Amino acid sequence: GISHQSDGVNERDKPNTKQALITSYNSEIGPKVKAACLESNTNNNKDTCPKNAVVVGKRSTNQNFKSSIISWFNQFCILLQRSLKERRHESFNSLRVSQVIAAALLSGIMWWHSDFRDIQDRLGLLYFISIFWGVFPSFNAVFAFPQDRSIFAKERASGMYSLSSYFVARIIGDLPMELILPTIFLTLVYWMTGLRPEVLTFVQTLGVIIGYVLVAQGLGLALGAIIMDAKRASTIATIIMLGCVLTGGFYVHKLPRCLGWIKYASLTFYCYRLLIDVQYRGGEEISGLLGCSSHMRNNVADCKFVQEDVVGQISPLASVAVMLIMIFGFRLLAYIALRRMKV
């Protein structure tokens, strides 16, 4: 018994993350006014407490609210620091960075300085970018919560921190990888393949890719939190992303009427449409170059291809709105799934 006690004391004396979280959590002090009011009521002093109790009660409520905010922020900062330390080597390990750079160099060589008028080749490049940054982050995010399940369950059961502080710190801790790696990839691919040589267009393309990465990451987080089994979640993510790739609008154009709606359920569809709109401005410029806007069309096949692939099937604002809904919606599903998880 003495050895266990000494071990417990030594553990409590260690300035580790657990102790910091416990101290932050226990910093909330309950109001003492209620006890005073109860004592005064028992002594039949009804006139001495009400007015002062209301004022002091409001002050204590405000103090409790402020202390709760401070405690939550302290928990968030500690958990964010831990998340960044743990994910730093995992997110930027040599294997993952090499995978991204190799994919960028390979695609840059394959589409080296492609012609603006080679529509089919350009659309293939845009669709490849959509596929890569849909599959890559979703598969990585699937393993996030299942890997932390045992530690998360123990820490939550002991009341070390709130679920919201853990969840927000976990999401923000993954952002460096989600922002830096796509930027490196697109910087290499964009200028090697000869896409529109305008800084604004490059920034718009990067914004679309980052937004789509956040959507795909949110899908992976939601699947991992709901299923809590890495293998099963990765299998389901593979099936979902395969469906998104097939129905994204590049491979199949003439779907059966009963399945015409299915492309709007594809994550890849919205990223692909936005990339096309950024590069071809809705199709007016390329239609003019090919003579599709005139009565005497020079190449009927190319004009049909432009109408089916380049001309937007959905407005850019609608695509952005849907992607924003998915970014927050998938993360909300993940939070609800973690909240319902038994600890």
The 3-state secondary structure of the chain reads CHHHHHHHHHHHHCCCHHHHHHHHHCCCCCCCHHHHHHHHHHCCCCCCCHHHHHHHHHHHHHHHHHHHHHHHHHHHHHHHHHHHHHHHHHHCCHHHHHHHHHHHHHHHHHCCCCCCCCHHHHHHHHHHHHHHHHHHHHHHHHCHHHHCHHHHHHHHHCCCCCHHHHHHHHHHHCHHHHHHHHHHHHHHHHHHHCCCCCHHHHHHHHHHHHHHHHHHHHHHHHHHHHHCCHHHHHHHHHHHHHHHHHCCCCCCCCCCHHHHHHHHHCHHHHHHHHHHHHHHHHHHHHHHHHCCCCCCCCCHHHHHHHHHHHCCCCCHHHHHHHHHHHHHHHHHHHHHHHHHCCC
For residues 246 and 263, give the distance between their C-alpha atoms in angstroms, rounded to a whole number: 9
> pLDDT over 90 for what percent of the chain?
34
Q: What is the mean pLDDT of residues 112-140?
A: 89
Evaluate whether 119 touches 309 at the Cβ level (below 8 Å).
yes
Evaluate whether 267 touches 215 at the Cβ level (below 8 Å).
yes
Q: What is the mean pLDDT of residues 239-266?
A: 85
**Residues 141-196: pLDDT tens digits?**
898 888 888 888 888 787 788 888 889 988 888 887 778 999 999 999 999 998 98
More confident site: 116 or 53: 116
Evaluate whether 56 touches 34 at the Cβ level (below 8 Å).
no
Q: How far is CA 214 from CA 101, 176, 316, in A?
A: 20, 12, 18
pLDDT score, position 291: 67
For residues 121 and 115, give the distance between their C-alpha atoms in angstroms, rounded to a whole number: 8
More confident site: 326 or 248: 326
pLDDT score, position 256: 77
Q: Is 143 exposed, middle or buried (0-12, 13-18, 19+ CB in 10 A)?
A: middle
The token pair that represents 335 in the structure block: 């939070």
pLDDT score, position 90: 67
> pLDDT over 70 for what percent of the chain?
72
Q: How far is CA 111 from CA 128, 163, 288, 343, in A?
A: 11, 46, 24, 51
Reported confidence tier of residue 323, pLDDT bands at 50, 70, 90: very high
Name which of 10-14, 197-201, 289-293 the model is least confident about. Answer: 10-14
Reported confidence tier of residue 254, pLDDT bands at 50, 70, 90: confident
Reported confidence tier of residue 259, pLDDT bands at 50, 70, 90: confident
Residue matched to tokens 């390990």: 93
Reported confidence tier of residue 206, pLDDT bands at 50, 70, 90: very high
pLDDT score, position 233: 92
Reported confidence tier of residue 312, pLDDT bands at 50, 70, 90: low
pLDDT score, position 109: 94
For residues 220 and 175, give the distance between their C-alpha atoms in angstroms, rounded to a whole number: 14
Evaluate whether 279 touches 201 at the Cβ level (below 8 Å).
yes
**Residues 27-78: pLDDT tens digits?**
544 444 444 444 544 444 444 445 554 555 556 677 777 778 888 888 888 8
State the Cα angle at 85 between 214 and 81, rounded to 5°: 80
More confident site: 262 or 110: 110
**Residues 129-145: pLDDT tens digits?**
999 999 999 988 898 88
C-beta neighbour count of 283 within 10 angstroms: 19
**pLDDT of 11 above 90:** no
**The pTM of the whole model exceeds 0.95:** no
Q: What is the mean pLDDT of residues 249-265?
A: 81
pLDDT score, position 12: 46
Residue matched to tokens 């040589």: 197
pLDDT score, position 271: 94
Which positions ≥6 away from 120 have C-beta within 8 Å?
305
Reported confidence tier of residue 105, pLDDT bands at 50, 70, 90: very high
Q: What is the mean pLDDT of residues 207-233?
A: 93
Select from 328, 207, 319, 305 the least CA-distant residue to 263: 319
- What is the torsional sign of CA 173, 96, 204, 213? negative
**pLDDT of 14 above 50:** no
For residues 145 and 107, give the distance between their C-alpha atoms in angstroms, rounded to a whole number: 32
Q: How far is CA 209 from CA 162, 186, 247, in A?
A: 32, 8, 19
pLDDT score, position 310: 67
Instruction: Look over the chain and give the mean of its residue pLDDT values, rounded to a whole number.
Output: 79
